[in-house]
Structure 1
Amino acid sequence: MTAATRFELPPELSATEPPEARGAARDDVRLLVARPTGSIRHRRFRDLPTALVPGDLVVVNTSPTAPAAVDALRGDGRGVTVHISGPVPGGPEEFVVELRSPGGERVSDGRAGEQIELPGNGSVVLRGGHPDEAVRAGSRLWRARFDIGADLMGWLHRHGRPISYSYLRRHWPLSAFQTIFARPGTADGHPFPSAEMPSAARPFTHPVLAALAARGVGVAEIVLHTGVSSLEADEVPLPERYRVPPATADAVNATRAAGGRVVAVGTTVTRALETVAAADRTVRAGAGWTDLVLGPDRPARIVGGLITGWHEPQASHLLLLEAVAGGELVARAYAAALAERYRWHEFGDTCLLFGPDRLLPATTTTDRIR
């Protein structure tokens, strides 16, 4: 499946540093608000509460970010960076990894059985491709087993750093990649959290949360641990671990029954909520691994609004955006963001996309056009 939204991203629109490095607050990034009816509006993220109405529910992801990038050496002495995506489904002693060159390019000559030397006298062995373990050479992702003689998360906090890509000017500390919602907790009992930041929530600040509460907008939580985001254009999202607690399921159902809109903070929250959404547009509590791929054949049932960053051309996340808000609105939003020089990636600007009012009770839709 391919998203309908098409665009070219000028490299100068990549955010190369956090807004704090420019003396700005996290909530000072720009916020584009796009509705199926009405014009596109340009605001600051601190203005988010004014775009919502009393009775709406904002759902956030509390997964923390791991220092999941480790500099290492291949057997021939070449440097390599190992990106740890997370545990293999059903294989608690194996992890999915991606290999990158020190300059950030994908490594295409890895092979099953290769041993890579890690800091602290550790090593990792590539055991087979992922998701197809039968691939023995040239896989982008690998199933791998670590031999580090220590707890992985403790070892990563000593030797790892956050995954970052070439558009960033330098490496930033782990604190720059944590949202205010991040806290210890697992979706499936495994201690490894998100490989990359659930970045849609990064602009949230305590003043924004206070303003949401004063507005009468609720906040609920889920957990979804993200894998690496560097998918190829034709790759669907990998299975990810999630948990939707009973309190959040109850809040979502109560919000919808009362005519409110459920607003997901990021594609991670959208995937988790839609995983537990029934055909009658109710949700249940649940946890485990989700392989749900939203798109034309599976539009959103529950999520009526989506706060998200700006995604790469041909990224699979664009399909999810279109499943929530429709291809026409997503295309309009991206065209406006390019025209207004919005900034891309995890330290960049944001948008709020509203889905069609078919997701709301019929008696309330006329009151939602604002």
Structure 2
Amino acid sequence: METSLNTKDFYYDLPEELIAQTPVEPRDASRLLILDKNSGAVSHRHFHDVLEYLKPGDCLILNDSRVLPARIYGVKEETGARVEFLLLSPKGNDIWEVLAGPGKRAKPGARFSFGDGLMTAEVLEIVEEGNRLVQFSYQGNFYAVLDQIGQMPLPPYITHKLEDKERYQTVYSKEVGSAAAPTAGLHFTKELLKQVREKGISIGYVTLHVGLGTFRPVSAEKITDHKMHAEHYWLPQETADLINTTKKNGGRVIAVGTTSCRTLESVAKKEGCIKESGGFTDIFIYPGFSFQVLDGLITNFHLPESTLIMLISALAGRENVLNAYRIAVQEKYRFFSFGDAMLIL
């Protein structure tokens, strides 16, 4: 692996007005930048044109994780002081690790009420990074109550209110558990997926629950000093069979999103092949990485100096990627979660 790269080598200049605040309608009307990973050549299309670049015998791998409406607002029972919780990960028995703000109100033993009492919570302890372990109480189904009282945990750079919660979910989302959307998939409509299948391109699903660490900037100067957060993944046998058959028949495996990519490459690294597998992955993909599974990637435009821009640089070359980003800025593409897409082949 290339070890001489610094975080600043993945910087690019982005005018703030190019950060998309709202999604495009319909979903597949967003723009699509095509990047040839070998030559670095760039062309400009719309997302629904993706069909022209997919061939019969290829397969698309989609992450079917669904975002939790994980941001909840409530009051401290003794004082009525307002508090915000962001649910990070379940620990079993209705205990969750949460990010609490303001933290000084959430000391061990403190009790809170959410949604006019639909859910209550008691802080059990303070854990690493100042997060809280919290015990929730409620009537009925936890996720049903959360659906009533929770809001989507939109990334910090999106300041507009989201009118329709479903616009921060993919049309194929199923397995609840992400703290952020696998955003490359937001561009697909049900109709476009139908057309993909009709063209003879197979679709397989993996699950990777996206953690908030996705948005954490890389603070280490050398990228090799950066520690990735772990995320839970699952690759079913059905998807493993599909990938292996595609490869055997000379088709290409194209991941939709960096989360799908990380799942596939994690399994290949851990198992030595593609087969049913689950667990936690903290795989960090940067230039010098040798891809075992991936032939192509559909992805959004990522933050400067992020692990995600490092991942796509591993696939298409840092210079090619930074050049494509410079062109995207000139052409006024929309960036980040609700922005436009890129196809790397």
For the superposition of Structure 1 and Structure 2, which TM-score range results when normalised by the shorter chain?
0.7 to 0.9
Matched residue, 1:227: 211
Deviations 1:79-99 (A, max 9, x none): 4432212225xx665433234
Deviations 1:18-76 (A, max 9, x none): 213xxxx1100001110122620111000001122222211001111211111134687
Identity over the aligned pairs, expressed in percent?
30
Matched residue, 1:358: none
Give structure 1 stretches of 5+ with no counterpart: 101-106, 134-138, 186-191, 355-370
Deviation at 1:162, TM superposition (A): 0.7
In structure 2, the CA distance between the partners of 1:124 and 1:26, relative to structure 1 (3 Å rule), is farther
Q: In the aligned structure 2, how far is the partner of 1:64 from the partner of 1:58?
A: 18
| Aligned counterpart for 2:152 among listed residues 162, 165, 169 | 162
Q: In the aligned structure 2, how far is the partner of 1:146 from the partner of 1:316?
A: 33
8 Å CA contact 2:63, 2:260 repeated in 1: yes
Secondary structure of the 1:276 match is helix
Residue type of the alignment partner of 2:121: S
Residue type of the alignment partner of 2:250: G
Q: In the aligned structure 2, how far is the partner of 1:3 from the partner of 1:221?
A: 34
TM-score when normalising by structure 2: 0.85
Number of matched pairs: 326
**Is residue 2:149 matched to residue 1:149?**
no
Matched residue, 1:357: none
Deviations 1:161-216 (A, max 9, x none): 11123533223332111211112x4xxxxxx5212211110110123223322332
8 Å CA contact 1:62, 1:222 repeated in 2: yes
TM-score when normalising by structure 1: 0.79
Secondary structure of the 1:242 match is strand
Q: In the aligned structure 2, how far is the partner of 1:269 from the partner of 1:180?
A: 16
Q: In the aligned structure 2, how far is the partner of 1:231 from the partner of 1:54?
A: 38
In structure 2, the CA distance between the partners of 1:109 and 1:305, relative to structure 1 (3 Å rule), is farther
Secondary structure of the 2:48 match is helix
Residue type of the alignment partner of 1:239: A
**Is residue 2:254 matched to residue 1:252?**
no
1:279-294 equivalences in 2 (<5 Å)? 282-294=273-285
Deviation at 1:77, TM superposition (A): 5.8
1:310-325 equivalences in 2 (<5 Å)? 310-325=301-316
In structure 2, the CA distance between the partners of 1:310 and 1:80, relative to structure 1 (3 Å rule), is farther
8 Å CA contact 1:279, 1:301 repeated in 2: no
- Structure holding more helix per residue: 2
8 Å CA contact 2:89, 2:97 repeated in 1: yes
Q: CA RMSD in A?
A: 2.6
Q: In the aligned structure 2, how far is the partner of 1:288 from the partner of 1:206?
A: 29
Deviation at 1:12, TM superposition (A): 0.4
Q: In the aligned structure 1, how far is the partner of 2:43 from the partner of 2:188?
A: 19
Q: In the aligned structure 2, how far is the partner of 1:276 from the partner of 1:168?
A: 36
**Is residue 2:72 matched to residue 1:70?**
yes
1:32-71 equivalences in 2 (<5 Å)? 32-35=33-36, 36-37=38-39, 39-71=41-73
Matched residue, 1:103: none
Deviations 1:115-145 (A, max 9, x none): 362314412426233xxx3xxxxx3x61422
Q: In the aligned structure 1, how far is the partner of 2:149 from the partner of 2:262?
A: 31
